[in-house]
Structure 1
Amino acid sequence: RNSLAILINLVSLFEAMDVFNKFTGKLARTYETSDRNSIEGILSKSREAFNSMKTMSVHDRIKALQIVLEKILENGDSLSDLITEETGKPKKLASNEVLAAENIIEAAIQALNNLSYGTINYPLLGNAVNYSIYRNFARGTVAGTCDYGNPLSSAALKIAASVATGNALLIFPSRIAPTPSLKLISYVGDTQLPEHMVQTILSEESEILDELLSLAHKSQGNWELVFDDDEFHEFTMLENFERRPENRIAIIWNDADLDSAAESITKSLFMASPGSYIRSMKIIIHRDVSEYTLNRFIEIISSIKIGDPSDPDTGIGPLVSGIMVSMTSDVLEEEIRSGSYPLLDLNIRNPFIHPVLLDSTGNNGPMSMKGVFGPVMAIYRIDSLQEVVDMCMVGGDCTDASLYTSDINIVRSLFERLGFSSLNVNMEPALNPEYFRTLFSSELNSPIYTKRSVLNL
C-alpha cells in the first residue's frame, strides 16, 4: 500500500487529466491510469469496507483520525504549497486552510472521545463537521465532493464525518485542484481503516455523476448509496462555471463605524477569501456616509499586493481559470455600458483581475441581478430602508447579508422584511444577544448569527 494510486484506491474514468500551476500556467502534474474499474466494482468494494467498519471500535477510529491529524501536522508546509500552486490561493490563506483541516479532524476526535457508549452507529459530531452530508449516522457508502476553493478542508470534512459515523466514502476531488485532496486521502492508507474505505473518483465527464446519482438511495441489504443531490449540482456548476453565483451583500447604515466596516468588508471579500474562489459583493451604503466609505475602500484596496501567491505579502493571487476571468470581464463590460463606472482603473490580464470598485447607483445592470467569480465590489447608494429592501430583492430572494449598524430596530426591520436565513450583525449594541432574546420571538424560525456567536463557535 505504498503506491499513491493504491493508497487512495484511485479509480480513473478518463485517459488523462492535466493539472496546472495557476500562477505560471505551466503543467504541474497529470493523473492517468489504465485501470478502468466498473461502477459495480467500486460499489462492491465500498460495501465490503462498510461491513468491515462495523467491527471497528471507537478507540480504533479515534486512533485512525489521530494518525491522519499527525500526517497533516508533519506535512503542513507542503500541503499549503500544493493549495497555493493549484488554486492560486495566497500562501498565508493556504496555511489557514491547513489549520482548518486540522481543526476539523480534531473536532471529530473530540466528538468520539465524548461518546458514552462503545459503538459508533449514531455519533454526534462537533460543529465543524455537524453540517456534513452524512447526516451523522451509518448508512453504507456516502459520496461527497471537494471544491476547488478549499480542496484540503473540504476533503478533511468528508473523511472526518465518514470515519466518525462508520460510513465508507466515495469522494470526488475537484478536477481543477485535486492534489491537496488526494494527499489528505492518501494519509488514510497509513491507518488501520479498512482498505477501500475511501475510494476516489477523478473524472472529466459529467456522465459518471449521472450514472452514480441514478443508483443513489437504492438499498442492497444493509448497504445504501447516499448522495446529497444539491452538493453534486453545486459541484458540477462550479467545476464547469455553468452559471454566475449569487452576490454576497453588505449593508452600511449611516451610524456605522465606517473605518471598521470598510476594513472588514475588504478583508472578507479579497484577503480572507480563497484567491480562486473570490465571489463579488453588492455593497449598499447610506448616501450620507458614502463618500467617506468609498475613499476608505479605495485606500485599502490600493494597498493590497496582487501577484505571485507564494509570496507571503501577496493578498490576491490569480483566478483559478481563464474562463472565470473571461466571464467576469464580459459582465463588467456590460455593467459599464449600462451606466456603472469604475472608481479604480480596470486592470484585467489573465489570470489576474485587480480589485474592481463600481459605482452602480441607479443602475439595474447585470451586477444587480447576479454576481461573478471575481474581486468585484458593486456600490449602491441609498437613502431609506425601503431602498435597501428593494435592492436586496433584485435578482431573487436575499438569504444572507452582513449589516453594519448599531440600531437594533434597523436590524429587526430588515430581518423581518427580507426573511434572511442568516444576518451577520457587526456592531454594538445591536449584536448583543440580550437584544435578540428580547426582540426576536420564537415565531421567527430562521436563526440569527451574530459576529459574537460566530467567534464563539
Structure 2
Amino acid sequence: MKQAEVMSEKETVTGYEDLNKQYIGGEWMDGSEDYEIENLNPYDESVLNKFKCASTGDVDRAFHIAKEVGKSWGETNPIERRAIMLKAAEILQQRKEEVIDWLVNEAGSTHLKAGIELQQTYDMIVEAASFPTRMQGLITPSSVPGKENYIYRKPLGVIGIISPWNFPLYLSMRSIAPAIAIGNTIVVKPASQSPVTGGTLAAKIFEEAGLPAGVFNVVVGKSSAIGDYFTGHPISKLVSFTGSTPVGKGIGRIGGEGLKKLALELGGNNAFIILDDADVDRAVEAAAFGRFMHQAQICMSTNRILVHESLYDEFTEKFVEKARQIKYGDPRKEDTIVGPLIDNKAAKRVVELVERTVKAGAKLETGGTAEGNVVLPTVLSGVTKDMPIFQEEVFGPAVGIISFKDDEEAIELANATEFGLSGALHTQDLQRGIQVARRVETGMIHINDQSVNDEPQTPFGGEKNSGVGRFGDGFILDEMTTVQWVSVQVKPRQYPI
C-alpha cells in the first residue's frame, strides 16, 4: 500500500464513542448502580471519563446472555470465526494511534511500552485466528471387541475474564482472543484503573469486526461490589485472572468451590543471574530493560539481580550509571522510559519499600524518591536475602543487587522466595546455563536475555505462588476447551449377563 493511501485511511478513522459504557448483549449502556468510577490519568490525575458502575444484576444479565448465544457461536463455521479474528487484527492496526493514546493516558504507558503492547496484542489475535481449525479430536483403539472410540474437543462455554491494569490491552486479549476463537463466549471485568484499555476498547474492536452480539460482554464496576459475584457466577466454566497473588488466591478459593477451571497468572519476584563468565556489558543492557520497562509494573520484571562476586563491582558500577541515564517523567514524551506508577498509593509503597531496605543495611546507589507518581530509577547494592526488596514483589522501578559465590548459591538465592514466574541467566557456557536454568523453580527463564518475554506460541505461566495453568499456543487451547468421549459399538457386543 502506498504512503498516500495509508494517510488517507488514517484521516477517515473516527475515534470510538461510548467507551465509558457497559457492553452487554451487543448494547452500550450505563451500569445500574448509582455510584461512578472515575477513570484517572496516572501521570497528572486528570479525569479521562466516568463509568456508572455495573451491579450484580448487570453481571447476571451478561452471563445469561453469553450462555444464550454460546451454542450458536460454538457451532459457527471455524472459517467465519477465523475471518473475524483477522478483521479485528486489521482494525487494531488501523486504529494504532488511537489505541496508543489510550494506553499512554489511561495506563501511564510510555510510547516504548505502548508500542510493544500494541504489537503483542496484534500477534496474539493473529495467533488465535489459527485456533478455530485446531480443535482436533482423536480416534483411539478400544479394549472392547467391535468398538470404536472418538474423542471430541469442544468449547467450554462461558468464560469469565478478570484483567489487570499494567498491560491491560494485551493481558485481556491474551484470554479474549483464544476464548472466542475457540467458540466460547466471554464476560470481561477489567480493572477499575484501566476499564477502557482492559475492556471496552477491545469490545469496540471486535464489534467493528463483526462479532455477533452477546459473544463478548464487558462489565465495569468496583471489585468490592461485584468481584466475588463475578468470580463465583454459576454460568462461567473457567475464570481467567491476571493480577496479584493475594487476590488470585481469593479467586482460586471461590472458583474452586464452584468446581471451575482456573487460569491464574499471579505475582513474580524474578531473579536475573549473572554467572562468573558472563558478558557484563550485555548483562547490564538486558537487566536495565528487564527492570525499568513500564516502570517495572510487569509481573515478569527483573526484581533481584544476582551477580557472581568476581563481577559484582564491575556490574554494579555500570548498571548504576545506566540507571542514572534513564529518562523519566511525562509518558507523553516519546523519549521517556520510566513514567508514572498507576497511582500515588503505588508510588508511596515503592519508596517506603526502598526506605525499609536501606534501613536494613542496603546502600542506595541512585534514586529512592518520587516526583508525583513517578518513582525515579532506583538501584540498591549490598542487598541480602532477608531484606524487603529481596522478599517482596516491588512492582516499581527499584531493584536490588545481590552477590553470590558459586552456581549452587545462585540457585539457592533464586529459589528463596514464594514466587516462580520468570527469570534470566547470563553465561557464555550455554550448556552450563541450561543446567542451572533447569534447577530454578520458575515457569520461564531466558538465557542471555532478560525476564520480560511473552510470545503467543509459547507456554506462559508460573510455579509456586505465581499461578496455575498456562497461556499461549495449544496450552491455552487445552485450558479453554473440554473433551468428550463418544464410543460406537460397531459389532454386537457379547455381555456376561
If the length of structure 2 is used for normalisation, what is the TM-score?
Answer: 0.72
CA gap of 1:245–1:190, structure 2 versus 1, over 3 A, is: closer
TM-aligned CA deviation for residue 306 of structure 1: 0.4
Aligned to 2:68: 48
- Bigger drift between 398-407 and 94-103 goes to 398-407
Aligned to 1:142: 159
CA gap of 1:317–1:137, structure 2 versus 1, over 3 A, is: farther
Encode CA deviations 1:67-124: one digit per residue, 9 max, x unaligned: 3222212110010010011111101220221121111111122444x55xxxx6979x
TM-aligned CA deviation for residue 229 of structure 1: 6.7
Q: Structure 1 counterpart of 2:97, which letter? A: D
Task: Name structure 1 gaps, 5 residues minimum.
Answer: 124-135, 217-223, 428-457
Q: Structure 2 counterpart of 1:404, which letter? A: H
Note the 1:143-162 alignment, pairs <5 A: 143-162=160-179
Q: Structure 2 counterpart of 1:227, which letter? A: L
Confirm whether residue 396 of structure 1 aligns to residue 421 of structure 2. Answer: no
Encode CA deviations 1:247-295: one digit per residue, 9 max, x unaligned: 2111111210100011011112113x46644756111111111111112
Aligned to 2:160, what secondary structure does the other structure show?
Answer: strand
Encode CA deviations 1:347-394: one digit per residue, 9 max, x unaligned: 323301111111134462112222211111201112223332332233
Distance in 2 between residues matched to 1:346 and 1:99, nearest whole Å:
32
TM-aligned CA deviation for residue 9 of structure 1: 4.9
Aligned to 1:343, what secondary structure does the other structure show?
Answer: strand
Distance in 2 between residues matched to 1:51 and 1:282, nearest whole Å:
48
Aligned to 2:304: 282
Task: Name structure 2 gaps, 5 residues minimum.
Answer: 1-15, 139-152, 251-265, 450-497
Aligned to 2:340, what secondary structure does the other structure show?
Answer: coil
Aligned to 1:268, what secondary structure does the other structure show?
Answer: helix
Note the 1:336-375 alignment, pairs <5 A: 336-362=358-384, 364-375=386-397
Determine if contact 2:350/2:396 at 8 Å carries over to the other structure.
Answer: yes
CA gap of 1:252–1:62, structure 2 versus 1, over 3 A, is: same
TM-aligned CA deviation for residue 179 of structure 1: 1.1
Confirm whether residue 333 of structure 1 aligns to residue 358 of structure 2. Answer: no
CA gap of 1:356–1:265, structure 2 versus 1, over 3 A, is: same
CA gap of 1:319–1:199, structure 2 versus 1, over 3 A, is: same
Of the three residues 214, 228, 239, the one matched with 2:232 is 214
More strand by share: 2
Aligned to 2:428: 406
Aligned to 2:192: 175
Note the 1:27-426 alignment, pairs <5 A: 27-32=47-52, 37-112=57-132, 137-180=154-197, 181-216=199-234, 224-228=235-239, 231=242, 234=245, 236=247, 245-271=267-293, 273=294, 276-277=297-298, 279=301, 281-362=303-384, 364-396=386-418, 398=420, 400-408=422-430, 410-411=432-433, 414-415=436-437, 417-426=439-448
CA gap of 1:225–1:104, structure 2 versus 1, over 3 A, is: same
Determine if contact 1:8/1:200 at 8 Å carries over to the other structure.
Answer: no
CA gap of 1:327–1:214, structure 2 versus 1, over 3 A, is: same
Aligned to 2:218, what secondary structure does the other structure show?
Answer: strand
Determine if contact 2:269/2:392 at 8 Å carries over to the other structure.
Answer: yes
Aligned to 2:311, what secondary structure does the other structure show?
Answer: helix
Aligned to 1:267, what secondary structure does the other structure show?
Answer: helix
Determine if contact 1:245/1:370 at 8 Å carries over to the other structure.
Answer: no
TM-aligned CA deviation for residue 411 of structure 1: 3.1
TM-aligned CA deviation for residue 412 of structure 1: 5.5
Encode CA deviations 1:114-170: one digit per residue, 9 max, x unaligned: 55xxxx6979xxxxxxxxxxxx84122111122211111123223321221111101
- Greater relative contact order: 1 or 2 (C-alpha under 8 angstroms, separation 6 or more)? 2
Q: Structure 2 counterpart of 1:330, which letter? A: E
TM-aligned CA deviation for residue 406 of structure 1: 2.2
- Bigger drift between 190-199 and 73-82 goes to 190-199
- Bigger drift between 152-161 and 251-260 goes to 152-161
CA gap of 1:75–1:330, structure 2 versus 1, over 3 A, is: same
CA gap of 1:421–1:232, structure 2 versus 1, over 3 A, is: closer
Distance in 2 between residues matched to 1:204 and 1:71, nearest whole Å:
30
Q: Structure 2 counterpart of 1:162, which letter? A: A
CA gap of 1:263–1:25, structure 2 versus 1, over 3 A, is: same
Distance in 2 between residues matched to 1:2 and 1:121, nearest whole Å:
39
Aligned to 2:31: 12
